[in-house]
Amino acid sequence: MAASRANKTVSHPFGISAFRLVLNTLPRFISILLITMIGVAFFSGLRVTGNYMRVNADSYLNSQNTMDIRVVSTYGIDDDDLAAIRSTSGVADVYPGYNYNLLVNLGDSAVSSQELSIDPRGSDAINIPWLVSGRMPKWQGECLVEKSFLRHSQKSLGDSVVFLSGDESDLNDILVRDSFTIVGVVECPLFLAEDRGSSEIGNGSNSYFFLIPESNFKLSVYTEIYIRSESVAAQDSRFTDEYNLAVTEQIYQLENTAELRQPLRYQAVVDEATSELDDAQKEVDDGYAELEDARLELEDARRELDDGWLEIADARRELDDGWVELADARRELDDGWAELYASRPLLDDSWVTLNDSRVSMDEGWAELALSRQALDDGWAAAELGWQEIEDGRVQLEQSGQLIQLAWDALDLLLQYGLPQWLYDLAAAPLRDLEQQYLDGLAEWQVGLDLYNQSIADLEEGEALYAEGKAELEGYEADYQSGLASLNQAEIDYQNGIARLNQAEIDYSAGLAKLEQGELDYREGLAELVEAEQDYAEGLAEYQTKRDDALIELADAQIEIDEGWADLRALKQPQWYVLGIRDNAGFRTFESEAAQLDALALILPGFFFLIAALVSMTAMTRLVDAERTTIATFKALGYKNTAISLRYLLYALVATAIGSVAGIALGFSILPPMIFDAFRTLFNIPHTMHPFSYEYTLISAAVAIVTTVLPAMFVVRSSVRETPSQAMRPLAPKAGRRIFLERVKLLWQRLSFLQKITARNLFRYKKRLLMTVFGVAGCTGLIFTALGLNDSLGTLTSKQFGQIYKSDVTIDFRLADDETLADFTAKLDNSPDVKDYTPIYQRSMRISSPELTKDISLIVVFDPDSLPEFIRLEARRTGWDPPPSYTLDDSGVILTEQIARQFGVDIGGSINLRTLEGDSATFTVSGIVENYTMHYCYMTPAVFEKAYDQTPEPNRFFIISHSGQGELPQSLLEDKTVVSVMYTTVLAGEVDNQLDVLTFVVVILIASAGILIFVVLFSLTTINIEERRRELASIKVLGFTDRELASYIYRENIILTIAGAIVGIGLGFLLQRYIITTLEIDMFMFSRDLLWTSYLISLALTFCFAVAVNLIMYRPLTRIDMVEALKAVE
Amino acid sequence: MAFIQLIDVVKEYRSGDLAIRAADGIDFQIEQGELAIVVGPSGAGKSTVLNILGGMDTADSGQVWVGDKDVATFDRHQLTAYRRNDVGFVFQFYNLIPNLTALENVELAAQICSDHRDAVETLQMVGLGERLDNFPSQLSGGEQQRVAIARALAKNPLMLLCDEPTGALDYNTGRVVLDLLQRASREQNITVVIVTHNLALKTMANRVIQLGNGKVQSVETNLHPASIETIDW
């Protein structure tokens, strides 16, 4: 109400006057504005940077649909597990994927890398890769890589990349192919930071990740399950407590699922393994049986062969007999032929005799034939006679018969009534005929008698003939018998020939048969010899194979037994349900952002304090200078509020403009700049510039409050004065005795001017404090910067020169037929190698109930020579030389940072777990200085006792003569050498990482330096302005420029010295603070400060002070005495 | 030749487009040991003349002879040395160093002078022997002005230049101060120049220079200046 009325009364002249006020005091206005701007810029810029990083990370993680929770199991995840996870309450989406560590071939070396499957669901996928260039894989044989791989390997899109198995496992069991074509460069939300995870192969940690289509994986189980949770997905940011709470809740649900699945899965695996082992046992048993069969078969063959030899001996004997027989047959045959040929002449003689008898016989036969003829003719005539007799008889008989018949017929007819008359008529002829028949019968009798006579004659001739014939026939019979016997003899002869010929044939056949037999025999013999040879070979083969087979079978048996033992020892699977906070990249990012927050809390606060003090002083000065004007307005009747408003507006406008400019500047410059620096450590494509109302309001409010509020107090006290009081110039600050004057002894020793200076110093307490504070801030910040530089800059030289003294580290894997001695021989022969020591290094997890971290375990095989390679000493904290530790079987030695993180002291105990899950507890026997990574050193005996496993060397620390570790090419190309790391390269990488931090710190410090410079400048200006009158008076008294300047400078120099001393202390604290806040896991920053840092920061502070004073020299000496001393009118 | 002689001194102040001729050809002279009073209305150029004469300001043209030296030709260093050794200033508002005691204020001036008076003696002379260790804020206006005079006298200067020395003082205190100044001129033969607009003081001066509009209006010499006790205003 009052203000509005005031406004009405104010109207133009008052407004104009206010505007003129700004114009007249433009430098002051601008200086308030600038200081506010710088303060606000730093505060808002730095405060928002942490948030900026988080918002960008969130935006990135959300746009890539990054997983909230990851589930892994010591058994891998099978489909049943997966189904259980899917049905767990709260699970929104799941991607079961694969993840395997393989070596990637880099030409002359191979380093471990992580191969992950790509979720093929495109924009619905979990953990979508961010494509930087190229394209997503279309075919199975394509892959995505990260930028640094291309840079390091000199490869580009379209080239191929080859993977190797890093251990005994066969790559073919893991992937369907070993070579992939690079088609795209990506960033993966799972790898926000450079950490690619630890690895059980290579040097223990992965250098790159590769994304390959999931169809390439041949693993039988999923290695990881990525989960998006319903309740979690509703959260905007992953950096909030709400998110953590939601994740914790979801993890709890999943752990319940794990409790359920673990025993089931265990049983399934046990069952399967049991059946597999049974099968294997059966195979081994079969193997033994087969071996026995082979032995029996060979025995049979032996027996058969022996039989064969017997048989062939028989055949020989038979053949020999055959030959004897055949020779006998020959002899017999020859005898036969001789006999036969001898019988021939006798036979021929017989034939002659026989033929003679033939001739005489043939003559007899001719005579006989003639008598025969005569007889035959007689017989023929008789025949004819007989014929005639016979015919006559037949005719007679026939006529007799007919007559009879005719009689019979007549009698019959008479009987039946034939009249007699007719009968008599017919009987008369018939009696004639009967007469004739009787006459014929008498004549035929005479003819028969004559015939009988001729027959008798003939029969007599016949008897004579028969007698001759019989005689001849007797001869003939003899002849015939002679002929027959001769013919028989002839036949016998012929038969003999035939028989002999047959015998000849038989003989030939026998001969042929024997010859055949002879051939067969030879063949049989050859066959037998061959069979014998085969047998011998078979036997030899059997014997050798039997040995191999027996070994193999025994091995198999051992394996089976081991399998059983393993199975008995098999633990239940352990699921690990991990939130995104367990992701190394995310964790690192989060802690870096938190570190920035911490930095942003202290440094900008510091800035703000100073800025506020300066603007407060400026406002006080302004109001003081305006006393008369205020009084005039008051006298004119303006209300206090209206007058106050004039100055409050002044302050408000200046700070408002300053705040707006500061916010604009702060938001647009600092976060991207710092984030850019951090982007060399983090792979986050940054996409948005967040505008934070929160920080805008806070910083603007703080700026306004710190400027306007003091102005208000000053104005209030001024406007309360009566006009007459106010009209008079403000009495200069009264002089007062200072404490120092009471110390008479000291005070009297001071020169006059020194006394003046001393009193002046304490006269303006506000200025004293601000200057001391300002200078202290300046020195402190420079000191901090240099101190950080000491810490960060000396880190690598300490770590890689004084602590780790080797120049080269090589990882190796001995071939099957190679021994450690073979390999060390190669090292011995390498010209540049001066000394080396074998170690066994592997990644472990160190854990306490609250904390789990990765740690490198180094098993030292030669603890006595270790000091040549690794210095095991505590960090030097005082003037005494630090204690040095030697490794023995009594415990392990731990590096400092990890010991601090776990709060372990010497004598305390730690728990180390292998990546496979075996865990053991150790006593810490030493804590040593170390700056990068965490290490735990132990002896092989300690390791073996803890894990029941004999460590084998897998790495050599090498010290070279040249210090560069120039290993010969032959060694580099040696198959045994898996990878070679040069300490200089390693140190360079660490340096790169530290450079970013250094950069950020330097930005902060440089900005702080600028602000401090401005502050110093303002303070000095104000100082001069405030004491214008005093200075002019002195000048009028005839002080030379130099005396005048030294009058002021003496004060400044003392304040600067005081400030610098306070500043060193402040810087020391600040440096400690920043180092502990900035310290990243795996890097312990050196606590050392070099004396040069003290010197340089002091020198720089004095340079600043001198510069400011020099700049002020001219205005100081140009003070217009007339103007300054002008009576206030 | 007179001890102080100004010849055609011109001084122009510029403020933007506006040029004010504070001294427009001023000529006057003052003899050694005289007490001169420069009077005139506000803006007549009194203070300008005094400042130029005291080496606090320089003339644009003209000659300012003090003894045998033309101050107008001095450079900054010569001016500083001139102020240091030859000139004592007394201002209306004293311009003491607030952080120094009365004695220290005097010593501050004395110690840079080769031929200086003892500070304590000087203070005793101005009647402040009892208040040596008091800070200006602990002194009254007249006392402060007396310290200022002591400070000026301690330097053993050739002349005392006083700009309205009683301007901020009440009547009685003013008389004490003026008495001191007159005594300095009479007893120590110090040339004293007093700028004032109080015409009543004219009678105490050997010479009265009347200025107006940057010019000398008149110069009166007074062969028998009155003592302060006799003057009333």
C-alpha–C-alpha distance, residues A579 and A246, integer Å: 10
Tokens, residue A23? 């114009």
CB distance A391 to A398 below 8 Å: no
Q: Which residues of B touch A1121 (CB under 8 A)?
A: 51, 56-57
The CA distance from A747 to A758, in Å, is 10
Mean pLDDT value of segment A512-530: 89
* Number of Cβ atoms within 10 Å of the Cβ of A211: 25
Tell me which residue in A735, A756, A1036 faces B136 most closely, judged by beta carbons: A735
Shortest distance, CA B129 to any CA of chain A (angstroms): 19
In Å, how far is B56's CA from the nearest CA of chain A?
6
Chain B CB within 8 Å of residue A23 CB: no
User: Mean pLDDT across the stretch A389-409?
Assistant: 86
**What per-residue confidence (pLDDT) applies to A1042?**
85
The b-or-e profile of B103-134 (16+ CB within 10 A means b, else e) is: bbbbbbbbebbeebbebbebbebbebeebbeb
Are A1121 and B56 a contacting pair at CB < 8 A? yes
Query: Residue A535 pLDDT more than 50?
Result: yes
Q: Residue A1122: which of B56, B82, B97 has the nearest Cβ?
A: B56
Supply the pLDDT for residue A145.
94
Distance CA A98, CA A111 (A): 20
Q: Which residues does chain B have within 8 Å of residue A1040's beta carbon, measured at their own beta carbons? A: 77, 80-81, 84
pLDDT at A7 > cutoff 70: no
Predicted confidence at residue A3, as pLDDT, reads 40
Of A413-427, A887-901, A1000-1014, minimum mean pLDDT range: A1000-1014
Which residue numbers of B have CB closer than 8 Å to A's CBs? 47, 51, 54, 56-57, 76-77, 80-85, 87, 89, 91-93, 95-101, 104, 107-109, 111-113, 135-137, 151, 155, 163-164, 167
Mean pLDDT of chain A: 83
- Residue A726 is predicted with a pLDDT of 60
pLDDT bucket at A465, cuts 50 / 70 / 90 = confident
Distance from CA of B158 to the nearest CA of A (A): 14
When pLDDT is averaged across residues A745-773 and rounded to a whole number, the result is: 77
Of all residues in chain A, what percent carry a pLDDT higher than 90? 12
Q: Which CATH superfamily is domain B30-58+85-230 in?
A: P-loop containing nucleotide triphosphate hydrolases (3.40.50.300)
Give the C-alpha separation, A708 to A880, whole Å: 55
A735:B51 CB<8 A: no
ipTM over 0.85: yes
Three state DSSP letters for A145-157: ECHHHHHHHCCCC
CA distance A648 to chain B (A): 30
Q: Is the separation of the CB atoms in B156 and A750 below 8 Å?
A: no
Instruction: Domain ranges for chain B, please list them.
Output: 30-58+85-230
Lowest pLDDT segment from A12-21, A579-588, A1113-1122: A12-21
pLDDT of B115 reads 81
Q: How close does chain A come to B204, measured CA to CA in Å?
A: 24
Q: What is the pLDDT of residues A401-415, one digit of tens each?
A: 888 888 888 888 888
Average pLDDT of span A11-36: 75
Average model confidence (pLDDT) across chain B: 85
Q: How many CB atoms lie under 10 A from the CB of residue A822? A: 12
Looking at residue A180, what is its pLDDT?
94
pLDDT exceeds 60 at position B121: yes
Residues of chain B contacting A1125 with CB distance shorter than 8 Å:
56, 91, 95
Q: Is the pLDDT of residue A939 over 90?
A: yes
Residue A77 DSSP label: B
**How does pLDDT run across A283-304, given as a tens digit for each residue?**
999 988 988 898 898 899 889 8
Per-residue model confidence (pLDDT) at position A204: 65
B85 contacts on A by Cβ (under 8 Å): 1038
The pLDDT value recorded for residue A4 is: 41
Q: Is the pLDDT of residue A689 over 70?
A: no
Q: Is A752 in Cβ contact with B111 (below 8 Å)?
A: yes
CB B101 within 8 A of CB B134: yes
Q: Do residue B108 and residue A1037 have CB atoms under 8 angstroms apart?
A: yes
Shortest distance between the Cα of B224 and any Cα of chain A, in A, equals 32
Tokens encoding A363? 């003559």
Percent of chain A with pLDDT over 70: 93
| A1118 → chain B, closest CA residue | B76
Looking at residue A2, what is its pLDDT?
A: 39
Q: What is the pLDDT of residues A985-997, one digit of tens each?
A: 778 777 776 777 6
Q: Is the pLDDT assigned to residue A459 strictly greater than 50? A: yes
Spatial separation of the C-alpha atoms in residues A217 and A178, rounded to whole Å: 11
Residue A182 has pLDDT above 50, yes or no: yes
Q: SS3 of A72, please?
A: strand
Inter-chain residue contact B80 with A1036, CB threshold 8 Å: no
Supply the pLDDT for residue A275.
Answer: 92
CB within 8 Å: B112 and A1041? no
Given a cut of 60, is residue A971 above it in pLDDT?
yes
CB contact A754 to B (< 8 Å): no
When pLDDT is averaged across residues B24-53 and rounded to a whole number, the result is 87
pLDDT, average across residues A811-833: 81
Q: How confident is the model at residue A6 (pLDDT cuts 50, 70, 90)?
A: very low
Q: Which of A171-180, A189-198, A1099-1108 has the highest mean pLDDT?
A: A171-180
The DSSP code for A801 is I
CB-based contact (8 Å) between A1040 and chain B?
Answer: yes
Among A575-584, A1006-1015, B29-38, name the one with the lowest average pLDDT. Answer: A1006-1015
What is the structure's pLDDT at A71?
92
List CB contacts (< 8 A) between B95 and chain A: 1029, 1032-1033, 1036, 1125
Mean pLDDT of A573-602: 79
* pLDDT grade for A686, boundaries at 50, 70 and 90: low
Instruction: Categorize the per-residue pLDDT at A645 as very low, low, confident or very high, splitting at 50, 70 and 90.
Output: confident
Can you tell me the mean pLDDT for A66-88? Answer: 90
Which pTM value belongs to this model? 0.60
Q: Which residues of B touch A736 (CB under 8 A)?
A: 99, 135
Task: Label the pairing between strands A99-105 and A160-164.
Answer: antiparallel
- Span A1032-1048, average pLDDT: 85
pLDDT tens across B138-191, in order?
A: 888 888 888 998 888 888 888 889 888 887 788 888 888 888 888 888 888 889
